[in-house]
């Protein structure tokens, strides 16, 4: 026994020496001290499906974007705002009726099969267009996808398709699925939705419900020596307070999506070894919006809506509710969408006297107890900030004589009350700006949306002129003309106030010092983390 173990130990030592001799020079040659290690990340929810091609939402991308890749990813500093992933180039035809994608060669799926244009064509026609929440809008007019060779895909549309929209939407709507696993199956019930197979830098390893997700390095990733990490583990920590403690205890190295509450950031940024990162959310801007029910005859009057806008102190909201981690809004397009942002719009500055005067003129003088009229306010329960802003709005409107009764609901009851039953006067919403007005903000003011569609115009607002602009922009191929239309759109929304934009905010990450390349693209949290590493 002794002899055996001794000989085994000797053998091991010998092997280690040989292995070290082989590996060390290679590491030195790659000039890469970051290779290896496990990144442990806090996950606040466990998405039911991990298929980003069907559910294009941040909760799914957070985990699945490391496994399943899109055609292109958002990037800082590149001219188109994109970095190529599975596509290497994209070009729209003059008439807007086709877009040609050149695809990356030499890419294989995690199960070893080659990635080809057939996978893209299958994903587009069978998944993105019919099944995906956003793809339904973007690819509504997609007719066919031609594949002249294995690495070219030509998307053909029945109506002109703005290349600008395709570019802006690509990181979100174009996650490619393997045709060989999905063809001929019930796509929404495919087992690969829970154990995804992709082309990304990490493979899906396991999911222990209630405990963790584990992803491991894809040894045959196309990106050269990427990824740097050996493993990414998502520890399920539904309690937000737990994430901060877990970071301090060094149980996790990263808590994204503002898992550490804003009120804790100041304290935790002073903890040695931890830092707060606000970069990496630029393309995931949330907008704090007061949505208005125009069926209420009082709110149907423009002067009343203007008065409400004047009663809100946006600076107070940014400083107090968001503790400075936000910016005040001027209109329906956020400032960090510079391609579309139009600063030349009607501003409604904080002005109580003006608000009072507008309400008096509109025919609502102060009555008994200084009250003019009463409104129901339903703050969205999604963020503590939306609830807190609800508390603030109640006080802000009380100052101009509007009595506000807050109605708190849980998420399903809130969605039903606002978007199906329309049982509200005002509601505080938090829509996401997804890089292009056509797939985000316009749906909040467009008319003709059926009842029950969540996060859409359910306030009964209808403006034919505004609808016409939105309609025209959706088919304008020339980027400049299209941008001009959206400038008009912003001007009109701030004049007519179908809703009131108050603030816009991104999330924050809290991360240990030794994690590098954090927040280096505008969708970093939901990108593939191929270059993220651990310094030693």
Partner 1 sequence: MRAFALRLMRSPEGMAGLILLILLAAMALCAPLVYPGDPMAIAGRPMLAPFSDPAFPLGTDRLGRNVVAGLMHGARASLLVGISAALMALIAGSIVGTVAGFAGGLVEDILMRIVDAFQVVPGFLLALAFVSVTGASLPVVVVAIALGAWTGPARLVRAEVLSIRERDFVAAARTMGMHPAEIAFREILPNALPPVLALASVIVASAVLIEAALSFLGLGDPNIVTWGSMIAEGRNLLRSAPYLSIAPGLGLVATVLGVYLFGEGVAEALARRRGRA
Chain centroid offset of residue 404 CA? 32
Report residue 526: phi and psi, to 5°.
Answer: -110, 25
Q: Which stretch binds partner 1 (CB under 8 A): 279-287, 302-310, 388-396, 516-524?
A: 388-396
394 binds partner 1 per the rule CB under 8 A: yes
Q: Of 459, 457, 426, 433, nearest to 444 (Cα)? A: 457
Fill in the DSSP letter of residue 193: G
Q: Which residues of 254-280 are buried (b: 16+ CB within 10 A; e: fewer)?
A: bbbbbbbbbebbeebeeeeebebbeeb
Q: Which stretch binds partner 1 (CB under 8 A): 334-342, 344-352, 402-410, 484-492?
A: 402-410
Strand residue runs (E) in 370-447: 373-379, 402-406, 426-429, 432-433
Beta carbon nearer to partner 1, 357 or 407: 407
How many whole angstroms separate alpha carbon 210 and alpha carbon 59?
Answer: 16
| Residues of this chain, 258-287, that bind partner 1 according to CB under 8 A | 261, 263-264, 266-267
Beta carbon of residue 320, minimum distance to partner 1 (angstroms, whole number): 5
Mention every residue, 6+ apart, whose C-beta is less than 8 A from residue 196.
50, 51, 64, 67, 68, 204
242 binds partner 1 per the rule CB under 8 A: no
467 binds partner 1 per the rule CB under 8 A: no
Residue of the chain from 269, 320, 411, 514 that contacts partner 1 (CB under 8 A): 320
3 state DSSP class of 306: helix
183 binds partner 1 per the rule CB under 8 A: no
Beta carbon nearer to partner 1, 43 or 321: 321
Beta carbon of residue 288, minimum distance to partner 1 (angstroms, whole number): 15
Q: Which stretch binds partner 1 (CB under 8 A): 102-110, 344-352, 392-400, 433-441?
A: 392-400
89 binds partner 1 per the rule CB under 8 A: no
3 state DSSP class of 240: helix
Mention every residue, 6+ apart, whose C-beta is less than 8 A from residue 190.
51, 181, 182
Residue 365 exposed, middle or buried by CB count within 10 Å (0-12, 13-18, 19+): exposed
Report residue 180: phi and psi, to 5°.
Answer: -65, -20
395 binds partner 1 per the rule CB under 8 A: yes
β-pairing, 254-255 vs 509-512, is antiparallel
Beta carbon of residue 388, minimum distance to partner 1 (angstroms, whole number): 7
Q: Which stretch binds partner 1 (CB under 8 A): 138-146, 223-231, 348-356, 399-407?
A: 399-407
Site size for partner 1 (CB under 8 A): 22
The answer for 253, left when phi > 0, alpha when psi is -120 to 50, beta otherwise, is alpha
Beta carbon nearer to partner 1, 231 or 248: 248
Beta carbon of residue 462, minimum distance to partner 1 (angstroms, whole number): 30
Residue of the chain from 392, 486, 489, 505 that contacts partner 1 (CB under 8 A): 392
Beta carbon nearer to partner 1, 102 or 275: 275
Beta carbon nearer to partner 1, 36 or 261: 261
Beta carbon nearer to partner 1, 27 or 241: 241
| Residues of this chain, 367-386, that bind partner 1 according to CB under 8 A | 381, 384
Beta carbon of residue 416, minimum distance to partner 1 (angstroms, whole number): 13
3 state DSSP class of 10: helix
Q: How many CB atoms lie within 10 A of CB 162?
A: 21
352 binds partner 1 per the rule CB under 8 A: no
321 binds partner 1 per the rule CB under 8 A: yes
Q: Which residues pair with 300 in a beta bridge?
A: none
Residue of the chain from 89, 133, 188, 405 that contacts partner 1 (CB under 8 A): 405
Q: Which long-range contacts (CB under 8 A, 24 or more apart) does 100-103 make?
A: 100/152, 100/153, 100/154, 100/155, 101/71, 101/152, 101/153, 101/154, 101/155, 102/151, 102/152, 103/71, 103/151, 103/152, 103/153
Beta carbon nearer to partner 1, 136 or 267: 267
Beta carbon nearer to partner 1, 137 or 398: 398
Residue 497 exposed, middle or buried by CB count within 10 Å (0-12, 13-18, 19+): buried
241 binds partner 1 per the rule CB under 8 A: yes
Report the interface residues with partner 1, using CB under 8 A.
Answer: 241, 244, 261, 263-264, 266-267, 320-321, 381, 384, 388, 391-392, 394-395, 398, 405-408, 410
């Amino acid at each position: 026994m002794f002899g055996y173990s001794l000989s085994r130990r000797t053998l091991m030592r010998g092997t280690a020496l040989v292995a070290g001799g082989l590996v060390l020079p290679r590491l030195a040659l790659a000039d890469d001290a970051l290779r290896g290690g496990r990144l442990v990340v806090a996950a606040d929810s466990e998405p039911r499906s991990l298929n980003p091609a069907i559910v294009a939402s941040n909760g799914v991308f957070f985990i699945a974007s490391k496994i399943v890749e899109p055609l292109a990813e958002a990037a800082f500093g590149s001219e188109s705002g994109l970095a190529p992933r599975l596509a290497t180039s994209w070009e729209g035809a003059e008439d807007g009726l086709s877009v040609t994608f050149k695809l990356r060669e030499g890419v294989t799926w995690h199960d070893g099969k080659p990635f080809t244009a057939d996978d893209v064509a299958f994903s587009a026609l069978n998944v993105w267009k019919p099944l995906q929440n956003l793809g339904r809008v973007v690819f509504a007019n997609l007719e066919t996808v031609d594949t002249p060779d294995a690495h070219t895909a030509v998307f053909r549309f029945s109506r002109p398709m703005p290349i600008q929209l395709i570019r802006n939407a690509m990181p979100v709507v174009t996650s490619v699925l393997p045709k060989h696993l999905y063809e001929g199956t019930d796509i929404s019930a495919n087992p690969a939705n829970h154990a995804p197979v992709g082309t990304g830098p990490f493979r899906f390893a396991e999911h222990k419900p209630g405990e963790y997700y584990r992803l491991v390095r894809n040894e045959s990733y196309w990106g050269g020596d990427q990824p740097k990490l050996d493993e990414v583990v998502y520890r399920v920590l539904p309690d937000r307070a737990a994430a901060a403690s877990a970071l301090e205890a060094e149980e996790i190295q990263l808590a994204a999506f503002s898992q550490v509450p804003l009120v804790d950031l100041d304290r935790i940024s002073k903890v040695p070894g931890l830092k707060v990162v606000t970069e990496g959310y630029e393309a995931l801007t949330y907008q704090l919006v007061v949505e208005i029910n125009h069926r209420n005859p009082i709110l149907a009057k423009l002067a009343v809506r203007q008065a409400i806008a004047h009663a809100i102190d946006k600076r107070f909201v940014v400083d107090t509710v968001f503790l400075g981690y936000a910016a005040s809004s001027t209109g329906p397009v956020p400032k960090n969408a510079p391609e579309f942002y139009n600063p030349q719009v009607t501003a409604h500055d904080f002005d109580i006297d003006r608000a009072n005067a507008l309400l008096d003129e509109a025919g609502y003088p102060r009555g008994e107890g200084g009250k003019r009229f009463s409104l129901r306010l339903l703050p969205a329960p999604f963020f503590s900030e939306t609830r807190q802003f609800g508390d603030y709005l109640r006080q802000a409107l009380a100052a101009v004589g509007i009595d506000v009764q807050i109605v708190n609901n849980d998420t399903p009851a809130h969605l039903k009350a606002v978007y199906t039953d329309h049982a509200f006067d005002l509601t505080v919403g938090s829509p996401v700006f997804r890089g292009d007005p056509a797939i985000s903000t316009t749906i909040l003011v467009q008319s003709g949306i059926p009842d029950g569609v969540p996060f859409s115009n359910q306030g009964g607002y209808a403006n034919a002129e505004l609808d016409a602009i939105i309609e025209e922009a959706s088919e304008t191929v020339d980027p400049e003309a299209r941008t001009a239309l959206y400038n008009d759109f912003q001007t009109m929304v701030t004049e007519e106030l179908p809703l009131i934009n108050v603030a816009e905010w991104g999330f924050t990450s809290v991360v240990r010092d030794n994690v590098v390349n954090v927040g280096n693209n505008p969708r970093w949290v939901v990108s593939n983390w191929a270059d993220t590493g651990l310094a030693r």
